[in-house]
Structure 1
Amino acid sequence: MQRVRRSSYTGSTASLHRRSSISAKDVVVIQQTIKKQQKMSAQVVAVLLTVLPVFTFVYLYSISLHAGQLLPTLKSLFFQWPFLFQCIPPLFDLIAWKFTTVLFGLQLIFHWVLPHDTVTVISSAGDETKFVNGFFSCLLLCLLYVLGASTGFYRGDLVLVHYNSIIMCLAIICVIVLLYLCVCYHYGDGNNVTTLSELYFGIETHTRILDVDVKHFIRSRMVFSLWPLLLISSIYHQFSIQGKISKSLFFASVSQALYVLRLHWHEDLYLNSIDAKRTNCGFYRLWSDMVFYPVIYGSPTLTLAQTSSTRSFLTNAILFFVSTSSILTTAMIDRQKYEFRKSKGTLKFGGTDPFFITAKFKMDNGEPGANLLLGSGYWAICRHPNYLSEAVTFATFCAFQGFPSVLSYFPVIFVIGYLLARLIADESRCSIRYGQYWQQHCSRVKYRILPGFF
């Protein structure tokens, strides 16, 4: 791909003059209908506030003690004392609290002390420069963990053995952070939390504590640093118990480590994602990143580390190839769109000008803005090509386990459901924001995620 100097509007001239089968009046009706459907009642929010924490700990209990087998899990929870309270991990596990405290402390130090890379966050209101060092902080953290385990300072399988309690520590910290934000909002000069919906979804996009972006710090420094530590700890655990490392655990750990390293190496892509730009910092985001995602991401590893069963070398090699290919494909797809928007449409694809539509809209402050809707390269295949490769990645992560239970495949079921929900939300948001321009883009790129089908 090469860059050439030309107007960002020239590639979209043809599309702006083409007529759509949907009139401007129809677009307005569609936008109004979508806005009404997006509202969530207080009753639904209350159910989510209750169900999400309960499900998180029930699933963690099932995976860690029963390998996700449904019948033994239900039998223990409903027919054995102390019933559902068995799901609550030990609260006063000092080792878990020490680990969590050290993890937070080291990541804060690394955030402030380690050299930073400069990345650009693209916005219609003006590009913003941010400083990141997530890749090197994660790498250094993993090396320090291995060094401490190798010198006998602590057991190498510390994270795995105390994982349930570590999740409990993170849950308590999540609640404390949420209460702290509510108090700050109440006594501050800015917004105030007045409804359950605001508590659940949040009222502020870029919340900062000690000049640290809370959302980015938790997701980058906690979730995607705890995950590789769990992988390392699982290998230590299985080797200490069985005297060897199963082929499935080895291949699965390497593929998941590559996934984490890809996320850290391309930290600028995450900062330019919809989640980073538009999701508010409320209970949903805090609990998901600090508690729910570590449980979901870690469940295949927890299952593999505590079993002696393994798949054949050929099966593991095929799954590893598929997972690695899908990880790299996702990175290339996201990178292509980011570089195109960063260049303001001046980036050539294979020596030719890309097709794009300059979609004009009104920003939240009422000022006019414009975004480029790319219809070339990977983004000519379908409107969300990265969603398919992401789903394939998590499918392979689960497939390394074989089929110990239905619940062991919940991560890929959840990811597919989440991506479909986000696809619907993205399509609705774009329809509301861009109107006729989005209809033109959809007529050019017909399929959402599966070319020829959907």
Structure 2
Amino acid sequence: MADTKNAELNPRTHGYEFFGPLGTLFITISVPATTYALYFGCSEHSGGCPPPVATLWPSAKLSLQSLDFWKSLWDQQAAVVYLAWYLWCVVCWLVLPGDWVEGTTMRDGTKKKYKINAFSTFLLTMGIVAGVITRFGPQSFTYIYEHWVGLVTASVLMAIFQALYCYISSYLGNKLLALGGNTGNPIYDFFIGRELNPSIGSFDIKSFNELRPGLILWALIDISMACEQAVRRGGKVTDITDSMWLVILFQLLYVADGLYNEPAIFTTMDITTDGFGFMLAIGDLAWVPFVYSLQARYLVFKQVELGPIHTALIVLVNFTGYWVFRSANGEKNDFRNGKNPKNLKTLTTQRGTKLLIEGWWGMCRHPNYLGDLLMALAWSLPTGFETPVTYFYVSYFLVLLMHRQYRDDENCEKKYGDDWHKYKQLVPYRIFPYIY
């Protein structure tokens, strides 16, 4: 009886995303490789951003064939520092006070409880860092720039370890599996995530990684890049360029906003639908902090002075994006929590649920993505136009959000049927109003 109930609750997944096992294997390899490539392809140590085309492939080929190159990716001290950082985040989750809130109802009828103290962790960490820099100067916080590669390696190894642990533990006991990660193919399920909510006691691994170690580390990396630039330009915080200040302030605002609004993530697809596998582990722990901070790292060795006019224009782009992002998410979160303070029009579905068809969500199906993309553009604009590499994040993010929109459309069509087609007629644009 128990096996029958478990089979009904955790049906076998039919169909693949990301072109199946071969596609997920390719992504599993290419995401860490791209993280390294963005360093070696945009670094003062490798000859520029990017290095001269004539030397790019010969140099890369020589490095990949060298045992010394592969050994250089490992930095024992950086690995210890990274592990200490991760443990610091765990200790803060455990020790700092925070409310326990319920997530959405899962298909087994239960609701997980999550401890809300990510923003407190961020404030405490930022306070300590500010104290260190104030007391000992910017030179005291340049470690991340100096040990970049070793820290990347440590984060990749942590992601591999966590994904393996969660995949193996998903077979132990009666776990609630992700509907999309139970194909029986180990390569695919390892990548997608087999268990929906892997936990150790009340410690939820997925939601913890979503906000704390990678997102806060992104802020620390940016600050470290600013400190490295300050040291090179005279050693004072006032020596930092206006372009670096913009990147730092924009990205810290984004991080702080995400952490402050921690409960909002519990209704996202990552939490409610996706399992925790290598896809989320490598994204949370390595990709977010070390790829999203590319602009700040570039400005260390390619210092740009914008001037007041260009600064003002870039600020306008960023805060327009932030306004769209926050306003749209505010409407959505209010609506999902049973509130409709603006009295926005809705479409009632045959399921008895409602879909917003007015306000930001009447302009397009994902206005929050539009705000996200405008902010991403503003983060890259301070680097100027000498290289396309610093605009990698905007390009990648556009592809990512278009793919997420496609996945969301598929899920909603299965969920709402004909009502979803009615909704698409009422809200025809996906991300960009009147364009796409």
Q: Tell me the equivalent position of 1:354.
A: 344
- For residues 307 and 291 of structure 2, the distance between their equivalents in structure 1, rounded to whole angstroms, comes to 25
Once the two structures are overlaid, the 10-residue window that deviates more, 150-159 or 327-336, is 150-159
The DSSP-based 3-state class of the residue aligned with 2:250 is: helix
Q: Tell me the equivalent position of 2:357.
A: 375
Structure 2 letter corresponding to 1:285: L
**1:430 maps onto 2:408 in alignment:** no
Distance 1:203 1:221, change over 3 A: same
The DSSP-based 3-state class of the residue aligned with 2:354 is: strand
Distance 1:397 1:88, change over 3 A: farther
Residue among 382, 395, 399 paired with 1:413: 395
Distance 1:94 1:146, change over 3 A: farther
The DSSP-based 3-state class of the residue aligned with 1:337 is: helix
How far off its partner does 1:425 sit?
A: 1.2
TM-score relative to the length of structure 2: 0.85
Distance 1:157 1:131, change over 3 A: same
- For residues 82 and 452 of structure 1, the distance between their equivalents in structure 2, rounded to whole angstroms, comes to 47
Residue among 225, 241, 245 paired with 1:234: 225
Q: Tell me the equivalent position of 1:132.
A: 116
Q: Tell me the equivalent position of 2:300.
A: 305
How far off its partner does 1:195 sit?
A: 2.5
Residue among 151, 160, 170 paired with 2:155: 170
**1:71 maps onto 2:91 in alignment:** no
Once the two structures are overlaid, the 10-residue window that deviates more, 263-272 or 304-313, is 304-313
- For residues 16 and 323 of structure 2, the distance between their equivalents in structure 1, rounded to whole angstroms, comes to 36
- For residues 155 and 23 of structure 2, the distance between their equivalents in structure 1, rounded to whole angstroms, comes to 25
Distance 1:152 1:423, change over 3 A: same
How far off its partner does 1:287 sit?
A: 1.2
- For residues 139 and 88 of structure 1, the distance between their equivalents in structure 2, rounded to whole angstroms, comes to 37
Distance 1:71 1:429, change over 3 A: farther
Structure 2 letter corresponding to 1:421: H
**1:222 maps onto 2:213 in alignment:** yes
Q: Tell me the equivalent position of 1:18.
A: none
The DSSP-based 3-state class of the residue aligned with 2:292 is: helix
Structure 1 letter corresponding to 2:346: F
- For residues 379 and 350 of structure 2, the distance between their equivalents in structure 1, rounded to whole angstroms, comes to 40
Instruction: Map 1:108-187 to 2 at 5 A.
Output: 108-119=90-101, 121-123=103-105, 130-152=114-136, 155-187=140-172
- For residues 325 and 334 of structure 1, the distance between their equivalents in structure 2, rounded to whole angstroms, comes to 14
Asked if the contact 1:89–1:164 (Cα under 8 Å) also holds between the matched residues in 2, the reply is no
How far off its partner does 1:315 sit?
A: 0.7
Q: Tell me the equivalent position of 1:213.
A: 204
- For residues 247 and 18 of structure 2, the distance between their equivalents in structure 1, rounded to whole angstroms, comes to 40
The DSSP-based 3-state class of the residue aligned with 1:58 is: helix
How far off its partner does 1:90 sit?
A: 3.7
- For residues 227 and 177 of structure 1, the distance between their equivalents in structure 2, rounded to whole angstroms, comes to 20
The DSSP-based 3-state class of the residue aligned with 1:405 is: coil
- For residues 272 and 63 of structure 2, the distance between their equivalents in structure 1, rounded to whole angstroms, comes to 46
Q: Which runs of 5+ in 2 are unaligned?
A: 1-13
Asked if the contact 1:157–1:234 (Cα under 8 Å) also holds between the matched residues in 2, the reply is yes
How far off its partner does 1:84 sit?
A: 7.6
- For residues 87 and 433 of structure 1, the distance between their equivalents in structure 2, rounded to whole angstroms, comes to 50
Structure 2 letter corresponding to 1:318: L
Q: Tell me the equivalent position of 1:321.
A: 316
The DSSP-based 3-state class of the residue aligned with 1:131 is: strand
Q: Tell me the equivalent position of 1:49.
A: 28
Asked if the contact 2:191–2:278 (Cα under 8 Å) also holds between the matched residues in 1, the reply is yes
Q: Tell me the equivalent position of 1:391.
A: 373
Once the two structures are overlaid, the 10-residue window that deviates more, 412-421 or 440-449, is 440-449
Asked if the contact 2:35–2:290 (Cα under 8 Å) also holds between the matched residues in 1, the reply is yes
Once the two structures are overlaid, the 10-residue window that deviates more, 129-138 or 42-51, is 42-51
Distance 1:236 1:89, change over 3 A: farther
- For residues 67 and 116 of structure 2, the distance between their equivalents in structure 1, rounded to whole angstroms, comes to 41
Structure 2 letter corresponding to 1:428: E
The DSSP-based 3-state class of the residue aligned with 2:355 is: strand
Structure 1 letter corresponding to 2:228: H
The DSSP-based 3-state class of the residue aligned with 2:349 is: strand
- For residues 74 and 15 of structure 2, the distance between their equivalents in structure 1, rounded to whole angstroms, comes to 46
TM-score relative to the length of structure 1: 0.82
Asked if the contact 1:146–1:156 (Cα under 8 Å) also holds between the matched residues in 2, the reply is no
Structure 1 letter corresponding to 2:114: K
Instruction: Return the structure number with greater relative CO, CA threshold 8 A, min gap 6.
Output: 1
- For residues 104 and 172 of structure 1, the distance between their equivalents in structure 2, rounded to whole angstroms, comes to 13
**TM-superposition CA deviations, 1:3-47 (whole Å, max 9, x none):** xxxxxxxxxxxxxxxxxxxxxxxxxxxxxxxx8685833222332
- For residues 170 and 138 of structure 1, the distance between their equivalents in structure 2, rounded to whole angstroms, comes to 19
**TM-superposition CA deviations, 1:40-64 (whole Å, max 9, x none):** 3322233223322222211222223
- For residues 48 and 261 of structure 2, the distance between their equivalents in structure 1, rounded to whole angstroms, comes to 33
Distance 1:300 1:175, change over 3 A: same
Distance 1:224 1:86, change over 3 A: farther
Distance 1:163 1:146, change over 3 A: farther
Q: Tell me the equivalent position of 1:9.
A: none
- For residues 407 and 103 of structure 1, the distance between their equivalents in structure 2, rounded to whole angstroms, comes to 29
- For residues 275 and 236 of structure 1, the distance between their equivalents in structure 2, rounded to whole angstroms, comes to 34
The DSSP-based 3-state class of the residue aligned with 2:383 is: coil
**TM-superposition CA deviations, 1:382-424 (whole Å, max 9, x none):** 1111111111110110111002322221100000010111111
The DSSP-based 3-state class of the residue aligned with 1:357 is: strand
State the aligned residue count: 407
Residue among 265, 269, 276 paired with 2:264: 269
- For residues 119 and 61 of structure 2, the distance between their equivalents in structure 1, rounded to whole angstroms, comes to 46
Root-mean-square deviation over aligned CA pairs: 2.7
Structure 1 letter corresponding to 2:249: V
Q: Tell me the equivalent position of 2:8.
A: none
Distance 1:225 1:87, change over 3 A: farther
Distance 1:37 1:94, change over 3 A: closer
How far off its partner does 1:209 sit?
A: 2.9
The DSSP-based 3-state class of the residue aligned with 1:451 is: coil
**TM-superposition CA deviations, 1:240-269 (whole Å, max 9, x none):** 111221110011111111111111111112
Percent of aligned positions that are identical: 21
